Structure 1
Amino acid sequence: MGFEELYPPGRLAAAQRAVAVAGLDALLLSPGSDLRYLTGYDAHAGERLTLLVLPAEGEPTLVVPTLERPAAEASPAPATGVRIVDHADGSDPYPLVIAALGGPVGAVGLADRMWAEQVLALRAALPDARQRLASAVLRELRVHKSAAEIEALAEAGAAIDAVHARMGEWLRPGRTEAEVAANIAAAIRAAGHVTVDFVIVAAGPNGASPHHGTSDRPIGVGEPVVVDIGGTMPSGYRSDCTRTYLAGGTAPAEFLDYYTVLHEAQRAAVAAVRPGVSAEAVDAAARAPITAAGYSDAFLHRTGHGIGLDGHEEPYVVAGNDRLLAEGMAFSVEPGIYLAGRHGARIEDIVVCTTDGVRRLNTTPTELIAL
């Protein structure tokens, strides 16, 4: 799979049509996932201005610092049809932005996570332009993954599954969470990721904190250990998978009881995924068994989040989101049960909504894994 499939030239034209429909004159995108989605350029974010100027009509222009022009030209961006212009250190780059817009503008969409200093500089350079969020335009394009994007996510899923399959090499009583995490991080890179996005190794009472991270606490015999890991592949697409392990010995009976409930909840939520089902209905499918077993207050977070060039993006699988799922939407299904001061568990797969159901992109067993 080449970058030309992941970042096709037609994507810029589709975005320009969406810009016009939204009543905007242009999108102004600083380094981040939106810029990469449209051009394939994984731009460096810094104090020097890098900005994709995407007018509703006219030629898209990528404004870059002179010293970063070689990187931009070596990226997939030129093949998408974007024009590259550069600015030298010490020069004002904003006249290049104004020129690329090709005339007066009344409203522009800015990258959601643009640095404040650039937002304010654009406000000064374009005082008559109302500023809105670019996500209002790009959200609908990015939420429907192409076949190439799905295969990139599948490749990422297989790579992180390979790391989970090796957990028995590192996770054992007496070792600290941080020691295990260091082994995992090296394995994430060895499995093909270019960056390690996060490593959570949460043993015993630490497992009751969904975003614990790691610590120097040794793992105890018979303790449940939540391992949530993910990274970014060369394609730019992300992995994210959680499994819960038993580090030797015998788990507490209470834990074994609620893990059975959690396993049922995760399977039920995955099975609920199909076109036309709402995101909140999938969340409800995960919560029903957990609530019936008396653990509703211990399920502390939403059931899932979208994934792609960002680790968290649309669609969000949460109560109150009545958005209907459609073919090509990719997201996590990750219910958890957390008992403060004791232990916790989470099971997470990345899934894709297909034409008539669901495809799991993580395929390792979801049962409790005893090491």
Structure 2
Amino acid sequence: MSSGRFDADVYARRLSAAAAATTSAGLAGLVITPGYDLRYLIGSRAETFERLTALVLPAAGAPTVVLPRLELASMKESVAADLGLDVRDWVDGDDPYRLVADALGGTPAATAVTDSMPALHLLPLARVLGVMPVLATDILRELRMVKEEAEIDALRKAGAAIDRVHARVPEFLVPGRTEADVAADISKAIVAEGHSDVAFVIVGSGPHGADPHHGYSDRELQVGDIVVVDIGGTYGPGYHSDSTRTYSIGEPSAEVAEQYSILRRAQRVAFDFVRPGVTAEQVDAAARDVLAEAGLADYFVHRTGHGIGLCVHEEPYIVAGNKLPLKPGMAFSIEPGIYFPGRWGARIEDIVIVTEDGALSVNNRPHELIVVPVS
């Protein structure tokens, strides 16, 4: 495995599985433009422009990459050459949509496209195909949700790297410094601890902690603040870390300590509930019920978790109404939170992977409210 992608055999298996899923769905093929699906299937980080770049994956037959001649270099980091994929380049004045149709067999046929395909490519493609494509989401979702060993290894390494960042956070939480100051230090630490890029940084101090997606601001940290730190980065071949811990600058009040202990129990109960066959909504309910029993239901304002991989947020979503049974290899966050508008908030988040008989957490920093001493 290189830092940019996995070994070619990983992508060969994915292409074969995607073709089989396409056949099972009764479709002629997939057309995948740049985005996470393309990166998943062939390791390409090509970008979307007004000129069409696409992987054409027929249900029966060899995959083809259609792309502008001036974008040939964008395929170098992919496995197109390693797998011997047919590359059909085109120049301005050619019809790339006809090349796609030819790669699919040349006759009108039901085709699926990635959900990130821009309308400027979808509409002319539909015109040439003679049929409006459907979304490939249902075809690829199962493949992307259930992680292979190489993906699990990347997620575990990403989790360990973000744990090392959280271990350094207390030294950054000094009264008088701004949230932005702390976020800058965290961003440097995310890269220093092994990530290739910073995905996001949330530093929510005091009343800002009651906004789950606050970000950071010029507010100065104060003694007595409860601080929500939610951070993540990109690791290795594009997989993500995402972990939240909550800090107290100085000793917390008895009320905060009590309510936080309930949140900690909710997070643990949800983790213990994870195993194959349990549904996503049942894990959400496990966390929610603990908070509801303590009268805190109204202060938990978001889902319990989201899948993670090439995207920070992807399926499966751990939310009420999602009856999807969990399977070994699924990876997602467990992150209940409590938010008191204008006062404070708290969240505890780990990334977990479903095993044959339970769950494995890739994050292993302490879950208690972390007290930062003040002089």
> After TM superposition, is the score higher than 0.5?
yes
Give the equivalent residue in structure 2 for 1:246. Answer: 248
Asked whether the 8 Å contact 2:308–2:332 carries over to 1, the reply is: yes
Correspondences of 1:300-319 after superposition (within 5 Å) = 300-319=301-320
4+ runs of 1 displaced by more than 6 Å?
none
Q: CA deviation at 1:123?
A: 2.1
Change in Cα spacing, 1:172 to 1:105, as seen in structure 2 (3 Å) is farther
1:326 aligned partner, one-letter code: K
Q: CA deviation at 1:90?
A: 5.5
Distance 1:263 1:170 in 2: 24
Give the equivalent residue in structure 2 for 1:94. Answer: 97
Give the equivalent residue in structure 2 for 1:231. Answer: 233
Asked whether the 8 Å contact 2:11–2:79 carries over to 1, the reply is: no
Once the two structures are superposed, residues 28-50 of structure 1 have per-residue CA deviations (whole angstroms, 9 ceiling, x without a partner) of 11111111111111222322321
Asked whether the 8 Å contact 1:7–1:39 carries over to 2, the reply is: no
SS in 1 for 2:199: strand
SS in 1 for 2:203: strand
Q: CA deviation at 1:103?
A: 1.9
Query: Scaled by the length of structure 1, what TM-score is found?
Result: 0.95
Distance 1:80 1:237 in 2: 22
Give the equivalent residue in structure 1 for 2:219. Answer: 217
1:253 aligned partner, one-letter code: A
Once the two structures are superposed, residues 102-133 of structure 1 have per-residue CA deviations (whole angstroms, 9 ceiling, x without a partner) of 2213211111122121222212322x223111
Asked whether the 8 Å contact 2:29–2:104 carries over to 1, the reply is: yes
Give the equivalent residue in structure 2 for 1:72. Answer: 75
Q: Does structure 1 residue 353 correspond to structure 2 residue 322?
A: no
Change in Cα spacing, 1:193 to 1:105, as seen in structure 2 (3 Å) is farther
Give the equivalent residue in structure 1 for 2:170. Answer: 168
Alignment coverage as a number of residue pairs: 369
Q: Does structure 1 residue 329 correspond to structure 2 residue 336?
A: no
Give the equivalent residue in structure 2 for 1:36. Answer: 39
Distance 1:370 1:5 in 2: 47
Which deviates more, 115-124 or 308-317? 115-124
Asked whether the 8 Å contact 2:52–2:67 carries over to 1, the reply is: yes
SS in 1 for 2:7: helix
Change in Cα spacing, 1:94 to 1:284, as seen in structure 2 (3 Å) is same
2:74 aligned partner, one-letter code: A
Which deviates more, 359-368 or 111-120? 111-120
Task: Give 1:146's match in structure 2, choosing from 132, 148, 156.
Answer: 148
Asked whether the 8 Å contact 1:262–1:290 carries over to 2, the reply is: yes
Change in Cα spacing, 1:244 to 1:80, as seen in structure 2 (3 Å) is farther
SS in 1 for 2:76: helix
Asked whether the 8 Å contact 1:30–1:51 carries over to 2, the reply is: yes
SS in 2 for 1:274: coil
Q: CA deviation at 1:89?
A: 4.6
1:332 aligned partner, one-letter code: S
Tell me the percent identity.
56
SS in 1 for 2:38: helix
Q: Does structure 1 residue 341 correspond to structure 2 residue 342?
A: yes
Asked whether the 8 Å contact 1:66–1:89 carries over to 2, the reply is: no
Which deviates more, 135-144 or 67-76? 67-76
Q: CA deviation at 1:313?
A: 1.3
Change in Cα spacing, 1:162 to 1:176, as seen in structure 2 (3 Å) is same
Task: Give 1:60's match in structure 2, choosing from 58, 63, 68.
Answer: 63
Asked whether the 8 Å contact 2:300–2:337 carries over to 1, the reply is: yes
Asked whether the 8 Å contact 1:240–1:349 carries over to 2, the reply is: yes
Distance 1:27 1:71 in 2: 20
1:44 aligned partner, one-letter code: E
SS in 1 for 2:239: coil
Distance 2:348 2:176 in 1: 24
Q: CA deviation at 1:93?
A: 2.3
Correspondences of 1:256-275 after superposition (within 5 Å) = 256-275=257-276
Asked whether the 8 Å contact 1:330–1:351 carries over to 2, the reply is: yes
Q: CA deviation at 1:81?
A: 4.4
Q: CA deviation at 1:262?
A: 0.4
Change in Cα spacing, 1:80 to 1:330, as seen in structure 2 (3 Å) is farther
Give the equivalent residue in structure 1 for 2:281. Answer: 280
Which deviates more, 49-58 or 342-351? 49-58
Once the two structures are superposed, residues 308-340 of structure 1 have per-residue CA deviations (whole angstroms, 9 ceiling, x without a partner) of 111111111111111111111110000000001
Task: Report the RMSD for the aligned CA atoms in angstroms.
Answer: 1.6
Once the two structures are superposed, residues 324-358 of structure 1 have per-residue CA deviations (whole angstroms, 9 ceiling, x without a partner) of 11111110000000001100000000000101111
Distance 2:304 2:245 in 1: 15
Q: Structure 1 stretches of 5 or more lacking a match?
A: none
Give the equivalent residue in structure 2 for 1:159. Answer: 161
Which deviates more, 319-328 or 343-352? 319-328
Give the equivalent residue in structure 2 for 1:295. Answer: 296
Correspondences of 1:67-146 after superposition (within 5 Å) = 67-89=70-92, 91-126=94-129, 128-146=130-148
SS in 2 for 1:211: coil
Distance 2:116 2:316 in 1: 18
Q: Does structure 1 residue 183 correspond to structure 2 residue 185?
A: yes
Asked whether the 8 Å contact 1:263–1:366 carries over to 2, the reply is: yes
Give the equivalent residue in structure 1 for 2:29. Answer: 26
